[in-house]
Structure 1
Amino acid sequence: MINKDEEKLLFLLADDHMLIRQGMIFVLDASGINYKAFHASNFRQIRECINDNPIHIAIIDAHFPEGNSLQIISEIKEKKPEIKILIFSGIDENIHALKYLNAGADGFLSKLSDEKEIEEAICSIIEKGEYISPVTKALLMNSLSNRNLVNPLLSLTERELEIARMYAGGYGNLEIANMLDVKQNTISTIKKRIFKKLKIENIVKLIELVKNHS
């Protein structure tokens, strides 16, 4: 919970699109919150702002041109665990919310949300220190019995995960077979098994999963 008796709540609005940040300013103004906002459009600016200012709440997009925000979330929580982080993103909440919460975020909010829900999320972060939407709450309940919802790669065996990372590293069937000293058709079989377990159909999706969850 954040101390609302502070003279001002200090927000970091981090998104590479200025219009998104300005939209959040509109919501903050309309809510009547006594605040000051700092802006960041990339990871370097996020780090600088966090280091130089006693930020209370960071509202951060899930993706920047440099990559996803999972690492920066972990960095913020390691340096200043008191900062509350709300992920505000256009990516699918059903697919991605849990991995961001697992990385240390205190809430996940879709950019498709209306103004009222955005205001509710911010107030919840201020008053409770977290925002759990109905969608994320259902995901959290399901994750108690299915840990693969948090990290789909957990469904793979050690060998399958090793090979998945090789594919993500740009290696092909023949190269992987030679590196592991097995037959090429064995690698092809394992590849099919990996795709089936992860419910994907191509290497692009595999690379994305490995990048996001490794």
Structure 2
Amino acid sequence: MKYKDDEQFYFLLADDHSLIRQGMIFILDDMGINYQAFHASNFQQIMECINSHPIDIAIVDAYFPDGSSLQLIPDIKNCQPEIKILIFSGIDENIHSLKFLNAGADGFLSKLNEEEEIQKALYSIIKEGEYTSSVTKSLLMNSLKNRDLLNPLFSLTERELEIAQMYAEGYGNLEIANVLNVKQNTISTIKKRVFKKLKIDNLLELVELLKNNSQFL
């Protein structure tokens, strides 16, 4: 994205909390750039805006009442391939940033950052088309050695992933054992191993994890 001092930029501020969107307006005003901002508080409003306006930069929260923005990023990019997406969220960057970048986001910015870093991120997105914090840079370097950081499902064996997907589809231990023609206690053992590898405690977490990461296998 080439940047000119007098160029106008079209921003989409997507967050279900109006105070966050308003705070971003204050920061953009302080930066002195020429911009127009559109607001969205849910998935439907986001896509309506993307389909109606030539957005340059979308600043999007990671989660909405509708679900995870991981599901939304490919749709946004399909509508406007040149758009730059900055995920702006309060969730743990160490745990989540890589999966959003892997999904197609151009940067991940923590809401815990000071205003100076937020402005730095915005300038980077405007001038370079991407933003990578020191935390995410470190994660990217580590992911070259450990691809599980990119997608926790990579830690599972083929059989473990198969069983995890069957749990997510609503199968119980006995049903899975019958389908795979193995003992029920074998399935129980594999389930414990899957939960340990994925660092989860229940099936709801498993379903959410599979929904957000299966497309990136």
CA distance in 2, matches of 1:202, 1:51: 38
Which residue matches 1:154?
A: 154
Which residue matches 2:118?
A: 118
Q: What amino acid maps onto 1:115 in structure 2?
A: E
Which residue matches 1:89?
A: 89
Provide the alpha-carbon RMSD of the alignment. 1.5
Aligned residues of 1:57 and 1:83 also touching (Cα < 8 A) = yes
Aligned residues of 1:88 and 1:108 also touching (Cα < 8 A) = yes
CA distance in 2, matches of 1:66, 1:169: 20
- The answer to whether structure 1 residue 70 and structure 2 residue 98 are counterparts is no
CA distance in 2, matches of 1:37, 1:103: 24
CA distance in 1, matches of 2:11, 2:198: 37
Segments of 5+ residues of structure 1 without an aligned counterpart are none
Question: 1:10 aligns to what SS in structure 2?
Answer: strand
Which residue matches 1:105?
A: 105
- How far does residue 75 in structure 1 lie from its aligned partner after superposition? 1.4
Aligned residues of 1:59 and 1:86 also touching (Cα < 8 A) = yes
CA distance in 2, matches of 1:56, 1:3: 11
CA distance in 1, matches of 2:183, 2:123: 58
CA distance in 2, matches of 1:149, 1:20: 29
- The answer to whether structure 1 residue 50 and structure 2 residue 68 are counterparts is no
Segments of 5+ residues of structure 2 without an aligned counterpart are none
**Greater Cα offset, 107-116 or 5-14:** 5-14
Question: 2:200 aligns to what SS in structure 1?
Answer: coil
CA distance in 2, matches of 1:76, 1:6: 26
**Greater Cα offset, 50-59 or 6-15:** 6-15
Aligned residues of 2:71 and 2:212 also touching (Cα < 8 A) = no
Q: What amino acid maps onto 2:14 in structure 1?
A: A
- How far does residue 182 in structure 1 lie from its aligned partner after superposition? 2.2
Aligned residues of 1:2 and 1:56 also touching (Cα < 8 A) = no
Percentage of matched positions with identical amino acids: 74
State the TM-score, normalized to the length of structure 2. Answer: 0.93
- How far does residue 212 in structure 1 lie from its aligned partner after superposition? 1.7
Which residue matches 2:204?
A: 204
- How far does residue 5 in structure 1 lie from its aligned partner after superposition? 5.4
Q: How many residues align?
A: 214
Question: 2:190 aligns to what SS in structure 1?
Answer: helix
- How far does residue 206 in structure 1 lie from its aligned partner after superposition? 2.2
